[in-house]
Chains A and B, each alone.
Chain A
Amino acid sequence: MATPLQSPITFSNVGKAKWWQRGFFASQTGYVLLALVALFVVMNFASPYFFTQGNLQNVAKNFSFIAIATLGVTLVIITGGIDLSVGSMMCFSAMVTSMVMTQISTPGMPGAEWFVHLAADGKTVIANLPGLILLISVLAGLGVALIVGLVNGFCIAVLGLSPFVTTLGMLSIVRGLGYVVSNGRGSFPGGPDADYFYALTSGDVFGMPAPFIYLVVLAVAMAVVLHHTGFGRHVFALGGNEKAAALTGISVVRVKIEVYVICALAAGLQGIIISGWLGSAPANMATSYELTVIAAAVIGGANLAGGIGGPLGAIVGCMLLEVIRNGLVLAQVNSYWQQALVGVIIIAAVLVDRIRSRVT
């Protein structure tokens, strides 16, 4: 924001920080983006396959599979919290979605008569209203995410439990519930709307993977909300100084519950998308994804102490992880190295930021 020209104050003693020392350029996200660009250049020389359309589409698709959940976790991390239950949440939402879809698409099941009927041949199942089954089942999947998010938020904001412990418990609860409702078996999206489901989750739109488009839309929405609405401002204030936020009259409880709900919804949506790509929702789906997601958020510049982070960082973090994975495969490096390298990058990214803030 430019200062008006007729400034009532003269700044004789207070200099203005140079453009490269403030804002985006001085953030960890900026450095990691730079590293990502460098990595692209290196990959270009290292492998002739890297910059092929097919490979780039693959990369875009793969990182979209964790990036939407990373947006949600980033929001929680900005408030100074953490959500460890995202991996389980992905699985549970996916499972509920495909179970509901199968249930209401099977004639004879309770409630199914509202949605499907049998064709004249007595075998083919026809939807009463194409798309309705899909809508209901996705809403069911997001509905359970909403409930889990509300419970997380309530325990943390109202009861004052630590976010780490609450969501660690929720990780186990939600995973356990997933095994209970499925009896440990995977579930498959089925019925007349399954084709729509696959098209919307793993299809391509104008040559771009559908999840990537959702990701871009959600990231832009998140950027606008974070930087241009009161809610976003309060999310940052909460992470910067929770006590101050409360003293200025911000409803800390409400903002906290909202971020945990948004995070759970993002994870739920992510799980539903992944299940479309896998073609099923196995009970052990997305196990330990919470760590990948948090790692991506942290690499992208979200500060676990709160107050710093954003959607661009979340995407850059996910992209960096995916490009490295992809690069190691293309370079025919033993894929077991990948995990070790990810750890090194997490520490390196935070280290660079620490060194920079010491220097300036």
Chain B
Amino acid sequence: MVTPYGAGLPVLELKGIGKEFGAIRALHGVDMRIFPGEVVGLMGDNGAGKSTLVKIIAGNFPPSQGEIRFDGKAVHFARPIDARAVGIEVVYQDLALADNLTAAANVFLGRELKRKLGPFAFLDHKAMAARALELFGELRSETRPDDLVKQMSGGQRQAVAIARTRLSNAKLVMMDEPTAAISVRQVEQVLSLIHRLKEQGVAVVLISHRMPDVFAVCDRVVVMRRGEKRADKAIGDSSPEEVTSLITGAKEVA
């Protein structure tokens, strides 16, 4: 495998990852390396093993076989919070936002900034709003920190979910179908958000069904089929037609 990043150290390295649920083999022998600042498209039909792979990396459950190395060190995640602690963030398809809270509150949910006042710790609204505004600025999203998420467009909500990953300076961000349910204009916004992450040296895994999006933003595409990795090549060496035939199984391996 030759990528422009091949010389550097991978941020995430999977070796022979497998997963069984009872008698069902969901994943088998998946090897994968992801480098800083690289955007990898993870494609495959429903049931191909994409979500299982993402959930293993995110710490939702452990793999049955294989090893995960993050930043050169072997890691074992018991809970999602362990994965987050080393710098892996997931932007879920439903974005996992609390609609009734403001953008800033959502960005800082679970890690609020506080000010000590005697024995009590109070929320530091000002600092959180300022930092959230900074993050939205970095992502070039027109999002007001004190607006309610309920009133936001799909693109803005996506920005809030991504800003949350920036807060912790994640090294790897996995995005589950970020462009599935939003308008064309907002898709543009989301793709540019991914570019922003890439500029800042963050590795991005984009799980998507939308071929144009993957080819617009990814450096590399990984195709899963029946729990195995069937292809892993630079975008320039592949084509939407080839990827489609890999996904459907018309072409077995590339």
Contact = CB atoms under 8 A, between A and B. Distances in A.
A243 B141 contact: no
Contacts of A332: none
B58 to A, nearest CB: 10
Contacts of B144: 3, 11, 14, 16
Contacts of B110: 234, 245, 248-250
B123 A244 contact: no
Interface string B119-146: 0111101100110011011101111111
Interface stretch (A225-233, A268-276, A323-331, A344-352): A225-233
Contacts of B181: none
B133 A3 contact: yes
B174 interface: no
Contacts of A307: 98-100
B166 to A, nearest CB: 14
A7 interface: yes
Interface in A1-39: 1, 3-4, 7-14, 16-17, 22
For chain B, the bracket of interface size reads 35 or more
Contacts of B145: 1, 3
Contacts of A257: none
A247 interface: yes
B123 A250 contact: no
B81 interface: yes
B90 to A, nearest CB: 8
Interface in A49-68: none
Interface residues of A, number: 35
A241 B84 contact: no
Contacts of A241: 96-99
Nearest to B125: A1
Given A229-B123, A244-B97, A11 B112 contact: no
Contact of A248 (B99, B109, B142, B156): B109
A8 B144 CA distance: 11
A196 B130 CA distance: 51
Nearest to B96: A244
B185 to A, nearest CB: 10
A9 B140 contact: yes
21 contacts: A1-B125, A3-B133, A7-B133, A9-B140, A9-B142, A9-B143, A17-B151, A22-B148, A228-B122, A230-B123, A236-B98, A236-B100, A236-B101, A245-B110, A247-B80, A247-B92, A248-B111, A248-B164, A249-B81, A249-B84, A250-B109
Closest 5 pairs (CB-CB, A-B): A8-B137, A240-B98, A248-B110, A307-B100, A244-B96
Interface of A: 1, 3-4, 7-14, 16-17, 22, 224, 227-230, 233-234, 236-237, 239-241, 243-245, 247-250, 307-308
Given A9-B136, A249-B81, 14 more contacts: A9-B140, A14-B144, A14-B156, A227-B123, A228-B123, A233-B101, A233-B105, A237-B105, A239-B100, A241-B98, A245-B98, A248-B110, A248-B111, A308-B100
